[in-house]
Chains A and B, each alone.
Chain A
């Protein structure tokens, strides 16, 4: 009898709970249906922004549309890509040359758009290689990597590539301090032998070509991130550092002891003067400079052996330390150029330095000491304010151009919105999960477009359908047009995006190349028409000058190849029509396929190992008769007398 009573009581409560639960569910979905219309890009319509996300450990840049979160392209930068032949083809192999030999992979963290007057201009995007220190420049007409420069005297090129207001310089700092020049020493001699460097890479305004102009030798801390000044602070660049303890083991404990580490403020205009007056020392340093010649459609490597180095001891006025709590990560300069925001990842506040106070403190020599000739400014004299209660583990800050700053907090997994000047937190929104960088379109420039912030998260867990232990990364698009931040969209990202940049689509769209002009193709192995195709033997090298057009290769029957020959297929895509690439591969190719854009020539090396007939074919479905686009190579014994013939 008693149990029955309980059941009678239970039933209505279960129904009530179910009802309430349903209500809360439908309320949430109602919110999101509003969000859906904000991220919906109708078929045939375009996204408002291009977003360029670093690929992290995939070494590339991926290109997304915002607000849809759709992936358009993965630009090969520091990693070989067998899909296109990047880093495999004869034309692109040289892009990955370093002083350590050919390096097929890297860890790419921070894309940074070129700027004019402090505003992204859409000419180029730069990105760093973390592991084997390099900076790449991607041409935003072709969306292809145009140049890679290695940075000597650096290890863990994390704090790069941040650019000055008119792309005068790309700056880079070393995360690992190392002996300069690098040599065989005891690791425990860290304090004595290990040094940091801050590098300034000059960018040619017409060609974009990079040149390592000079490096500044700094105490052996870990230099983490950077941003250049703008407006009034143009001419300065700011670099965070941690491990001012100079520990060389168990850094998580040993580098977390000091209450404050430093932001290094560098007056690069002053540094330029010292360089011009001959104060810089030319020291030995081996580093590669690789660039892709668009006319020749071919990459070339230059080896450099010297670099100019400035020592702050001999160049007073080029660098100052701003004490900053605690193991700061990001350093971000607000659109006005006055505020320098540090992401003190172990700090309980977000410290914001004032550029004008910094200048005054320098003028008054308001120093509390110096390290290796670098004056340390008094914290109280340079600080503009501290944001209280900013979330746990603040890392990076972007700006909306309306007086607000948005800081990512990794540990508490949220974005915190606060007001510049009053330093009060006005809003916060959770992220899923453990946000690293965040990005507002043009949010680190003088003119942020605002509208959205993208959270670039490190942990994904349950956000999407599970795909085994390895999951994609996750990003969130958040509307920042109102007072309250509103979550609009979750979307998966490839690789592991660290920083990202976005730019209004109309700036890039009009410049985007559709084809490479065949007329301008000066590749040494081009065939501009089918009449120019040929097969040439030169010792045990065979060069096949081949064309691809709808829907055949010329030649498509090749005989006279012998086992052990080094066969180079130089395939020119004769098409001059938009979106008609051809692909090329041959059976057993121990290399990669070629994906050849209209007007391009690409070459791949094949070393056949046994005699027989080897089919080759087009791998990109090019037209109605794509399946007919094929041919045969006959491979004979090494000692056979079959002569080269083709048709």
Chain B
């Protein structure tokens, strides 16, 4: 692998990461008999939106029956932090591709993987909190029932069939990680082939 090739691959990784500003990273879709049109939310780096304009409000309204806390994007600090984290990876990535040293690319890749893992864990904890930390005055109380949505997959929560999955943004990050890792792997192979 030539030096330039690895530089370009690294740049592509950075561009992919930068594109996550424009796509949701996670999706949660709900299906119920009385919602034939579907209802769901999209989680972005900096916001949570409804699939349809008022879905978030309507999900909150439905959730009040089981005593789930309101999903209020303004009170979720992660949505403020994530755009800067991505900015950091963009800047770091650009530097890494300019200097184009293996250790920088390695550091970038590993930092990204660690950040993603923490992010997933954090997301799981939020879901756990929403699902378990319920208002004791809720109109609907079912002993032993919790309402934690799955991290990835589908689960029936009362009348709501809840499907949670990564969205475009996550795939972009995933491809970005694969690309930067491939630089490392291919470099290794290249080095072996080009033993001097």
A interface list, Cβ under 8 A from B: 515, 549-551, 575-578, 624-625, 628
Asked if B61 is at the interface (CB within 8 A of a chain A CB), the reply is yes
* Cβ 8 A contact of A625, one of B53, B54, B65: B65
B65 partner residues in chain A, CB cutoff 8 A: 624-625
CA distance A575 to B64 in the complex (A): 14
Q: Which of A576, A577, A624, A625 has the most CB of B within 10 A?
A: A577
A to B CB contacts below 8 Å, 22 in the list? A515-B54, A549-B61, A550-B61, A550-B64, A551-B139, A575-B58, A575-B61, A576-B53, A576-B54, A576-B57, A576-B58, A577-B54, A577-B57, A577-B58, A577-B61, A578-B37, A624-B65, A624-B139, A624-B140, A625-B65, A625-B139, A628-B139
The 3 closest A-B pairs by CB, nearest first: A576-B54, A577-B58, A550-B61
Q: What's the minimum C-beta distance from A43 to chain B, rounded to whole angstroms? A: 12
Nearest A residue (CB) for B37: A578
Interface residues on B, range: 10 to 19
Q: What's the minimum C-beta distance from B4 to chain A, rounded to whole angstroms? A: 51
Interface residues in B43-64 (C-beta closer than 8 Å to A): 53-54, 57-58, 61, 64
B interface list, Cβ under 8 A from A: 37, 53-54, 57-58, 61, 64-65, 139-140
Determine the main DSSP class of B at the interface with A: loop
A624 partner residues in chain B, CB cutoff 8 A: 65, 139-140
CA distance A625 to B140 in the complex (A): 10
A-B contact count (CB 8 A): 22
Q: What's the minimum C-beta distance from A548 to chain B, rounded to whole angstroms? A: 12
A577 partner residues in chain B, CB cutoff 8 A: 54, 57-58, 61
Beyond the given A549-B61, A551-B139, A625-B139, could you list 7 further A-B residue pairs with CB under 8 A, ordered by the A residue number? A550-B64, A576-B53, A577-B61, A624-B65, A624-B140, A625-B65, A628-B139
A551 partner residues in chain B, CB cutoff 8 A: 139
A550 partner residues in chain B, CB cutoff 8 A: 61, 64
CA distance A625 to B64 in the complex (A): 12
Nearest A residue (CB) for B58: A577
Determine the main DSSP class of A at the interface with B: loop
B53 partner residues in chain A, CB cutoff 8 A: 576
Nearest A residue (CB) for B39: A577
A549 partner residues in chain B, CB cutoff 8 A: 61
CA distance A576 to B37 in the complex (A): 14
B139 partner residues in chain A, CB cutoff 8 A: 551, 624-625, 628
CA distance A577 to B140 in the complex (A): 21
Q: What's the minimum C-beta distance from B11 to chain A, rounded to whole angstroms? A: 42
B57 partner residues in chain A, CB cutoff 8 A: 576-577
A515 partner residues in chain B, CB cutoff 8 A: 54
Nearest B residue (CB) for A44: B36
Q: What's the minimum C-beta distance from A573 to chain B, rounded to whole angstroms? A: 12
Q: What's the minimum C-beta distance from A549 to chain B, rounded to whole angstroms? A: 7
CA distance A159 to B92 in the complex (A): 77
Q: What's the minimum C-beta distance from B145 to chain A, rounded to whole angstroms? A: 15
B54 partner residues in chain A, CB cutoff 8 A: 515, 576-577
Nearest A residue (CB) for B61: A550
Q: Which of B37, B54, B58, B64 has the most CB of A within 10 A?
A: B54
Nearest A residue (CB) for B64: A550
Q: What's the minimum C-beta distance from A470 to chain B, rounded to whole angstroms? A: 37
Q: What's the minimum C-beta distance from A235 to chain B, rounded to whole angstroms? A: 44
CA distance A576 to B55 in the complex (A): 9
Q: What's the minimum C-beta distance from A577 to chain B, rounded to whole angstroms? A: 4
Q: What's the minimum C-beta distance from A574 to chain B, rounded to whole angstroms? A: 9
CA distance A577 to B57 in the complex (A): 9
Nearest B residue (CB) for A518: B54
CA distance A575 to B140 in the complex (A): 20
CA distance A628 to B64 in the complex (A): 15
Nearest B residue (CB) for A628: B139
CA distance A550 to B34 in the complex (A): 15
Q: What's the minimum C-beta distance from B30 to chain A, rounded to whole angstroms? A: 13
B37 partner residues in chain A, CB cutoff 8 A: 578
Q: What's the minimum C-beta distance from B106 to chain A, rounded to whole angstroms? A: 49
Q: Which of B57, B61, B64, B139 has the most CB of A within 10 A?
A: B61
A625 partner residues in chain B, CB cutoff 8 A: 65, 139
Q: What's the minimum C-beta distance from A502 to chain B, rounded to whole angstroms? A: 26
Q: What's the minimum C-beta distance from A317 to chain B, rounded to whole angstroms? A: 55
CA distance A577 to B37 in the complex (A): 11
Q: What's the minimum C-beta distance from A464 to chain B, rounded to whole angstroms? A: 32
Q: What's the minimum C-beta distance from B15 to chain A, rounded to whole angstroms? A: 36
Q: Which of A515, A549, A578, A625 has the most CB of B within 10 A?
A: A578
Q: What's the minimum C-beta distance from A291 to chain B, rounded to whole angstroms? A: 27
Q: What's the minimum C-beta distance from A382 to chain B, rounded to whole angstroms? A: 56
CA distance A578 to B140 in the complex (A): 23
Q: What's the minimum C-beta distance from B36 to chain A, rounded to whole angstroms? A: 8
A578 partner residues in chain B, CB cutoff 8 A: 37
Q: What's the minimum C-beta distance from A456 to chain B, rounded to whole angstroms? A: 33
Nearest B residue (CB) for A599: B54
CA distance A309 to B85 in the complex (A): 74
CA distance A515 to B50 in the complex (A): 16
CA distance A260 to B65 in the complex (A): 73
Nearest B residue (CB) for A579: B34
CA distance A578 to B57 in the complex (A): 12
Q: What's the minimum C-beta distance from A452 to chain B, rounded to whole angstroms? A: 28
CA distance A578 to B39 in the complex (A): 11
Q: What's the minimum C-beta distance from A129 to chain B, rounded to whole angstroms? A: 37
A576 partner residues in chain B, CB cutoff 8 A: 53-54, 57-58
CA distance A515 to B55 in the complex (A): 13
CA distance A577 to B58 in the complex (A): 6
CA distance A551 to B64 in the complex (A): 10
CA distance A576 to B140 in the complex (A): 22
Q: What's the minimum C-beta distance from B81 to chain A, rounded to whole angstroms? A: 29
CA distance A119 to B19 in the complex (A): 46
Nearest A residue (CB) for B55: A577
Q: What's the minimum C-beta distance from A213 to chain B, rounded to whole angstroms? A: 40
Q: What's the minimum C-beta distance from B97 to chain A, rounded to whole angstroms? A: 45
Q: What's the minimum C-beta distance from A46 to chain B, rounded to whole angstroms? A: 13
Nearest A residue (CB) for B54: A576
Q: What's the minimum C-beta distance from A628 to chain B, rounded to whole angstroms? A: 8
CA distance A628 to B65 in the complex (A): 13
CA distance A624 to B64 in the complex (A): 12
B140 partner residues in chain A, CB cutoff 8 A: 624
Nearest B residue (CB) for A577: B58
CA distance A628 to B61 in the complex (A): 16
CA distance A570 to B64 in the complex (A): 25
Nearest A residue (CB) for B59: A577
Q: What's the minimum C-beta distance from B38 to chain A, rounded to whole angstroms? A: 11
Q: What's the minimum C-beta distance from A597 to chain B, rounded to whole angstroms? A: 14
B64 partner residues in chain A, CB cutoff 8 A: 550
CA distance A549 to B37 in the complex (A): 21
CA distance A421 to B85 in the complex (A): 78
Q: What's the minimum C-beta distance from B22 to chain A, rounded to whole angstroms? A: 25
A575 partner residues in chain B, CB cutoff 8 A: 58, 61
Nearest B residue (CB) for A575: B61
Nearest A residue (CB) for B159: A624
Q: What's the minimum C-beta distance from B138 to chain A, rounded to whole angstroms? A: 11
CA distance A457 to B111 in the complex (A): 78
CA distance A578 to B53 in the complex (A): 11
Nearest A residue (CB) for B50: A576
Q: What's the minimum C-beta distance from B52 to chain A, rounded to whole angstroms? A: 9
